[in-house]
Chain A
């Protein structure tokens, strides 16, 4: 894995003639979590997909650069709201999917260590349908870690989980993805306040950087400053939408 770089995405996007978002510049700091917070339809997922080099259904004018000057899309790992586990493959096979799709031999020791780290050892040979939502998202996280990429793009990966499982997954992910350049796209102010080392609110008007709480992420769910930040972010979202 190359050291995690800074990332800058700068440009605007149109869908046909209609602008999806106007000229904006988003900077992701190396080895840190940046939370991009916004409501539906403001184009936050588009930003993430553009960085990942995926078709975004929008025309993007601008550029996406890494501080080390190397190409970006082949150094990202991607995790979506839907866990995207292959239903016909076992947990172990899903975790090592990347290598198999590249025609390489997966590093089985590494795979087993990651599965163990995600507390999934008892479920290695199970199919995704036999797992709970939280377990499935842990498999997806193990698959993401297996890729060992310096840039990790998370598209609302925890939003379908119940409150307790979501908090557990947030802690686990924050710990596991330390040292990587992470972009977390979310619509949940609480999630941004817990995890963001830098927080940016995206609305129709553009990007608004916000001050993250002082405590190191992941912050406690009952940390007062974090709760205040959550409230402030929600108020900002509502004001901008009005």
Chain B
């Protein structure tokens, strides 16, 4: 049923798209139809695969680094009032900055290669991971903490045996969000300066008025993001406390 409704929605979207192309009669370099995009995608499948691989590597490394950094930060914040006073405002402030504006700077610092894109992905997902896990760590059900107190628990054990396990569902929702954001970060990084990756391919195709190729690359990125989200969702199901 779930798959059927997804299929119906996809078919509907494609029909709508094709319908707009027919009705408006726009030239293909303005708005290519789905059939043309599919053809272009098939003709360029190896090219697209190559660039997808590059972007995927950036995203996966970014996701891993961002998660590790976010988890460490959240634990430090939860553990120390000084860290909260010093670091938390800074963390919120960095969120208020347009991260996109930092992309050229990252390219300047880290070069045109892989790492400036990884850094961009990390920057984008660091905050959702940190803040969701931190919130989870600070919202341990008070009854558990009371119980631990009457048991003369030590702080370390309370953190590892109660606060962290109780915060895992929050971390899981942060990671699911991050899986959607990380590809955006990597692609922004590629736009600003690169010679490979889906972002680069989209920019290149756009510049040459190959709008069909640009759509093919963009849709590939979309499908990749959804797949990544599903994988992360599956991987974090136990963390989130969903029934096995």
Q: Do A and B come from one complex?
A: yes
Contact B147 A102 (CB under 8 A): no
Contact B147 A87 (CB under 8 A): no
Contact A101 B146 (CB under 8 A): no
Is B144 an interface residue, CB under 8 A from the partner? yes
Contact A88 B154 (CB under 8 A): no
Residue of A nearest to B158 (CB): A101
Is A86 an interface residue, CB under 8 A from the partner? yes
Is B157 an interface residue, CB under 8 A from the partner? yes
CA–CA, A54 and B148, complex, Å: 10
- Which A residues between 195 and 238 are near B, CB-CB below 8 angstroms? none
Set A86, A87, A97, A153: member contacting B151, Cβ < 8 A: A97
Which bracket fits the contact residues of A? 20 to 34
Contact A102 B154 (CB under 8 A): yes
Contact B241 A88 (CB under 8 A): yes
Once A101-B158, A101-B161, A103-B157 are accepted as A-B contacts, the answer to whether A84 and B151 lie under 8 Å apart by CB is no
A96 to chain B, nearest CB (A): 11
Residue of B nearest to A147 (CB): B151
Which bracket fits the contact residues of B? 20 to 34
Residue interface mask B149-176, A partner, CB < 8 A = 1: 1111110111001100110100000000
> Which of A23-31, A72-80, A112-120 contacts the other chain?
A72-80
Once A88-B165, A101-B157, A102-B157 are accepted as A-B contacts, the answer to whether A52 and B143 lie under 8 Å apart by CB is no
Is A82 an interface residue, CB under 8 A from the partner? yes
Contact B150 A76 (CB under 8 A): yes
What A residues does B152 contact at CB under 8 A? Answer: 74, 101-102
Residue interface mask B166-202, A partner, CB < 8 A = 1: 1010000000000000000000000000000000000
What B residues does A52 contact at CB under 8 A? Answer: 146, 149-150
- Taking Cβ atoms with an 8 Å cutoff, the residues of A that contact B are 49, 52-54, 73-74, 76-78, 80, 82, 84, 86-89, 97-98, 100-103, 147, 153
